[in-house]
Chains A and B, each alone.
Chain A
Amino acid sequence: MATLTVTDKDRFLINQEGQDFSHEAKTFIKIRELALKNLKGLDFPSNKLEDWKYTNLKELGKLEFRPQSAANIHADKINEFKIKNLDAYFLVFVNGFFEPSFSDVIEDKESDFLVTNLNTAKKEFIKLVEPHLGTQTRAKDQFFVNVNSAFSQDGAFIYVKSKAKLDKPVQIIHLVDGDLVAAYPRNLIVVEKFAQAKVVLTYDTIETHSALCNSINEVVVEEGALVQLDKIQNENTNTYHISADFAHQAKDSTFTINTLPANGKVIRNNLNILLNGSNSTANLFGAICLNGNIHVDNQTFVDHAKPHCESNELYKTVVNDQATAIFNGKIYVNKIAQKTNAFQSNANILLSEEAKANAKPQLEIYADDVKCSHGCTIGQFDDEALFYLRARGIKESTAQKVLLDAFIGEVLDHISNEAVRAYANQLIAKNFKSQFAALKN
């Protein structure tokens, strides 16, 4: 007699049954159906998969999430998540649902740009959404990419018309609130030829004892366009964050993504950059300062598909307490991608005995005229530098802060907006303040 067992995958998907997306246009329903079909052949990720070797999701698999629903939020609650002194358009989402009353919506058809939610865009601007949504889901074997694609309720839609410039950055605020919440925000950013946009993504928690934020960001960078994304993850220690960021670059374009995972339970970032036009540049920077028990796993994939492109990747990590940092950076250079310049560097500093860092660079090069380099280091703060600072009267805790700032500063300098950089600095300082005091004793 066969026994009926509930797998982690069943448990994970069962709570989404009954979500109704039938009001959507056929083209979007197709994306969801395709994702569901993909999911049939995929298991809930376990450590047996090479991709998930170092990140354990066993506990997550046992959680019985509630069906998605919007939450009631007060305005003053929202305001504290707006980055201080940031002159920006704000889009607010809670548990994956749009909060229009707290958002600055621009959906004037005559405007050079649109700042709105994806559900509105799917109806009002279907011609701008359809060619791009889901097409970058170049990861059909990724469980969480498909879960998001099947069940995402909403997300931001940012569109900048050819040759136009988004006059202010957009801060997309995503909040998690409530227990057993699984949120699936999905943002689409389309920047047309020679246009420019800066977007700041912040992920925070209002309150929860167990939650998952499974997000996707799709970015279309057309010919000669310039896009910068700052992604700051600051959820509470009960929240899992699993995200995938896709950039699709045409020729002469530049895309920069700054990733700053500051707080959470488990954070997994999958960056997937396709350099699909010659002379395009991708910059991937990560500032990872971890304490407590947080586990952060950054996976990057840069696909050099065309010649004369450049990718610069710099991930710097400082790990304290029992925290863990994983870095897996893959660079793929296609046979035709001659004159590729691809640089990757991952430097880790461990501050405690129990802190862990794992670095794995991967280069796959099929062109013969390329410049590629990668380097990984794992170490401690330079004792000589520390002694030098102390010999000049600087307290040990201050000296460590000075060295930390110098180390991480090289990455933070790439965040061009001062208010965002100040916020990033503040999060890092907060993470390390008590620790440096403790180290002194």
Chain B
Amino acid sequence: MLKIKGLKAEIEGKEILKGLNLEVNPGEVHAIMGPNGSGKSTLASVLAGREEYEVTAGSVHFEGKDLLELAPEERAGEGVFLAFQYPVEIPGVSNINFIKTAVNEVREYRGLPNLETKEFMTLLKEKQQLVELSGKLANRSVNEGFSGGEKKRNEIFQMAMLDPKLGVLDETDSGLDIDALRIVSHGVNELKSKDNAFVVVTHYQRLLDYIVPDYVHVLLDGKIVKTGSKELALELEEKGYDWIIKELEEEKL
């Protein structure tokens, strides 16, 4: 589904990703862990098409298409969804109009007709319930005055509405209390199917207690240096990253 080969990317002349390889197949959940500054969020941003990042080498293919050639909205249309680490507040745009516009634009991209109001409302209610998002938030401006937990639940709600093939969660767990973490994870788990996949970028192992990964990758200095099973996350939690750095240095020798 997703094939990343030798990806190098920089921002303001500083190279962050230094030859990253990753392959994700339908039905899989991949966790990407790594210390601050290792390039986790850069990877998520490059996949979503943030323009500040310049890709200098390598390729990203999504279902055979060159993802890097596509505009952010086309990527969303193809089925890539980024749950933002810091969801953006947009004063004056109601949450419900925002999601309605997004759903219909994505449907248009996929060659589907607009949803009838009734169908839309049914879908809306169902997905709001999934992440226990109060209906009151629908008429508020996008993310404006939302609590941290509400913002993150709103991300998962949007993901549920847009029904992507690949969900990239960028530190969705940061700043969440246990209840919110449980709700967000429940939402993701409900959306999981054999046809879609998730890339979960996180700093902490605790999220992976709820969203169980098939693979755990360690990202260090812009490259994936180690891949393991969910047990690797526990090991990282316990021992930190230094032992991997040591391991790598020994390999070099």
Contacts and interface: CB of A to CB of B under 8 A. Distances in A.
Interface of A: 382, 384-385, 387-396, 398-399, 402-403, 405-407, 409-410
B87 interface: yes
Given A391-B82, A393-B73, A393-B77, A406 B102 contact: no
B198 interface: no
Contact of A392 (B89, B97, B102): B102
Contacts of A394: 73, 101-102, 105
Interface string B192-220: 00000000000000000000000000000
Interface residues of B, number: 32
Given A387-B72, A388-B84, A388-B87, A393 B92 contact: no
A268 B102 CA distance: 39
B149 interface: no
Interface in B72-101: 72-73, 75-77, 81-82, 84, 87-93, 97-99, 101
Nearest to A404: B92
Contacts of A398: 101, 105
Nearest to B50: A387
A409 B97 CA distance: 14
A427 to B, nearest CB: 19
B73 A385 contact: no
A396 B90 contact: no
Contacts of A392: 73, 76, 98-99, 102, 106, 158, 162
B91 A406 contact: yes
A44 to B, nearest CB: 42
Contacts of B50: 387
B49 A389 contact: no
Interface string B209-250: 000000000000000000000000000000000000000000
B71 interface: yes
Query: Top 10 nearest A-B pairs by Cβ distance?
Result: A406-B92, A393-B76, A393-B106, A392-B102, A390-B72, A388-B88, A406-B93, A390-B73, A385-B90, A384-B88
Contacts of A384: 88
User: Taking each of A387, A391, A395, A406, which has the highest tally of chain B beta carbons within 10 Å of its own beta carbon?
Assistant: A391
Nearest to B97: A402
A390 B77 CA distance: 10
Question: Helix, strand, loop or mixed for chain A's interface?
Answer: helix
A402 B48 contact: no
Contacts of B91: 406
B85 to A, nearest CB: 12
20 contacts: A382-B88, A385-B90, A387-B50, A388-B87, A388-B88, A390-B72, A391-B75, A391-B82, A392-B73, A392-B76, A392-B102, A392-B158, A393-B102, A395-B105, A402-B98, A403-B93, A405-B92, A406-B141, A407-B92, A410-B92
B156 to A, nearest CB: 13
B146 interface: no
Contacts of A399: 73
User: Taking each of A393, A394, A403, A405, which has the highest tally of chain B beta carbons within 10 Å of its own beta carbon?
Assistant: A393
A391 B73 CA distance: 5
A395 B92 contact: no
B98 A389 contact: yes
Contacts of B97: 402
Contacts of A396: 71, 73
A435 B48 CA distance: 26
Contact of B109 (A385, A393, A405, A406): A393
B72 A402 contact: no
A393 B79 CA distance: 9
Nearest to A440: B71
A405 to B, nearest CB: 8
B198 to A, nearest CB: 16
Interface string B104-115: 011001000000
A396 B70 CA distance: 13
A345 to B, nearest CB: 14
Nearest to A407: B92
Contacts of B90: 382, 385, 388-389, 403, 406
Contact of A402 (B73, B81, B84, B101): B101
A394 B107 CA distance: 11
A114 to B, nearest CB: 40
Contacts of B93: 402-403, 405-406
Contacts of A402: 93, 97-98, 101
Contacts of B48: 391
